[in-house]
Structure 1
């Protein structure tokens, strides 16, 4: 399991809100939910994404833009449009459609003039696992047409136009696929500055060590056992890991364990502190609590109480 595999698993679509509209100008759709991630693309025509505090971004056929919440944004036919904004959000999803295909207030027009067809998916993100991924993203992320996501958009366009059993599951999985394609292309862009873990996971030495840590974070890892798994000396692993990731291997492991523990504390209400400690590799709950407070700033019990409903 790569670092990216682990981080993206907390960003799974589940009942994602989809809209597909064919619009004739002028228009202004104002998305007010501030979803953690919202993916926007057009299949034909063009428009602009105008997000709070960011310069306007053009959206041409098969371009993809991801907006990171809690920023809200508006999709317009042109910057400075005279159209009155139509508020779009979860609360105005059409009930009998389950919020998956159409939103109340979206203007569906098919007058043969070749309007703009918009597809947008609001992405729920839960827990702490994906926080390093979200933190690595700008408020507005764009990937131009012509990449690996284009075939996915063809599938999305076909599926959104249907009204058949199982549509929601298909849309969710297609959105997962589209998001992965978009993020990979954005991290790999020639002029990009990807997070340290993105480049490190492709290193022949550090990548092996990261895969071992993420595959079994509860294992009793030492520098020696990690170096053996990566087939290098301890000194080589320690230096290369610190140079590429920015911290020693066991410091990275502790932070990742505490991230996993943070989600377990919230998700498993009946689990004791000792249960959570064992699951992330600590036989001693006291030692786990000390490590958790050092990394997260509060002890496990305080953290759980603060996030309990």
Structure 2
């Protein structure tokens, strides 16, 4: 498992988190749910994405923008539009409101689409767990990728799929949206002059990339710097320096942080598992040593963390906020 694959595995479209709107100016759709991640791409036409604390971003045909929650945003025909904003969320689902024209179980065949209209495809993503929080932390509130890249082929499939109403449509849309998000994030991280997170570039280093893959594939293994160096074919000193230079911390410090991230999700997902059970899964034979490491990294011991997560307190953070339907 590569690191990016690990981090994005909890970011999945899963039914109903999809909408496609065909709009004629003036319009202003205010997306109020504040989903952890929302992907917007224009099939035809153009508009602007406006958020509260960021400059307006143009969205032309085949451009894609990703907005990181809990920020809400508005899609408008032009900055300063005279249109009254329509709150889009759970109930924004009828064409006469300027909302979704295509959704599972609803076809509008035969309706005329006005020439020059803008068609917007939106996918809102729940983001599950501490693992994917690491990905969110690497993203700005708004990121934009121009059309013409690898996502164009996906967009063609999306546009074709929303125009039909067939069995299995929701599954296809979910997977296409996931594909589109991966393509968008890859291109944004690789953009000329960009500043991707250290781990993104480190994955491509022959030595450090292999070390990261090993740590992610076998997090519970009894790793030492010597063992990791032996598996990557370099000396301990070479691995330690190269890893710290590219990732920003020593290999075993990174491993501890990753183990605690895995443990945080397991504490929530496996309600019947004891702290000792979780400790063994992430490579600790001693639950007391695990608890001490967890508190040092996470700021609370495992039992406290589990209780806090179960109550859904604000400390749980936006990455674990429940998904709402965006049609």
Q: Is 1:166 aligned to residue 168 of structure 2?
A: yes
| Partner residue, 1:13 | 13
Give distance in 1, aligned partners of 2:49 and 2:304. 41
Q: Deviation string for 1:230-261 (max 9, x for gaps)? A: 00001100010011111110000000000000
Q: In terms of mean alpha carbon deviation, does 224-233 or 7-16 score higher?
A: 7-16
How many residues align? The count is 301
d(CA) in 2 for partners of 1:166 and 1:295? 43
SS at match of 2:67: strand
- In structure 2, the residue matched to 1:280 is 282
Q: Which runs of 5+ in 1 are unaligned?
A: 103-108
Question: How far did 1:90 drift?
Answer: 2.4
Contact 2:24 2:114 in 1 (8 A): no
SS in 2 for 1:75: strand
State the 1:91 CA deviation. 4.5
Partner of 2:127: 125
2:179 and 2:113 map into 1 onto residues whose CA distance is: 32
* Paired residues for 1:65-84 under 5 Å: 65-84=65-84
CA shift in 2, pair 1:300/1:100, >3 Å = farther
Among candidates 209, 213, 222, match of residue 220 of structure 1: 222
Which protein has greater RCO, CA pairs closer than 8 Å, 6+ apart? 2
* 1: CA distance, partners of 2:243 / 2:9: 24
Moved over 4 A (4+): 91-94
Corresponding residue number in structure 1 for 2:50: 50
1:196 aligned residue: 198
Separation of aligned partners in 2, 1:90 and 1:272: 38
Describe the shift of the 1:132–1:89 C-alpha distance in structure 2 as closer, same or farther (beyond 3 A). same
- Provide closer, same or farther for how the CA distance between residues 301 and 144 of structure 1 changes in structure 2, counting only shifts above 3 A: same
* 3-state DSSP of counterpart to 1:19: strand
User: Could you say what secondary structure the match of 2:62 adopts?
Assistant: coil
Shift of 1:14: 1.3
Q: What TM-score do the two structures reach when normalised by structure 1?
A: 0.94
Structural RMSD (CA): 1.7
The alignment partner of 1:308 has SS state of helix
Report the Cα offset of residue 93 of structure 1: 5.0
Contact kept in structure 1, 2:161 and 2:173, CA below 8 Å:
yes
Instruction: Determine if the alignment matches structure 1 residue 63 to structure 2 residue 63.
Output: yes
Comparing 111-120 with 206-215, greater Cα deviation is found at 111-120
TM-superposed deviation, 1:72: 0.3
The one of 270, 273, 285 equivalent to 1:271 is: 273
In structure 1, the residue corresponding to 2:171 is in which secondary structure?
helix
Q: What corresponds to 1:114 in structure 2?
A: 116
Paired position in structure 2 for 1:26: 26
**8 Å CA contact retained: 1:17, 1:90:** no
Q: Which runs of 5+ in 2 are unaligned?
A: 95-100, 105-110, 312-327
Aligned to 1:85: 85
Shift of the alpha carbon at 1:85?
Answer: 0.8
Aligned in 2, Cα 1:230/1:112: closer, same or farther, shift over 3 Å?
A: same
Give the Å deviation of 1:113: 1.9
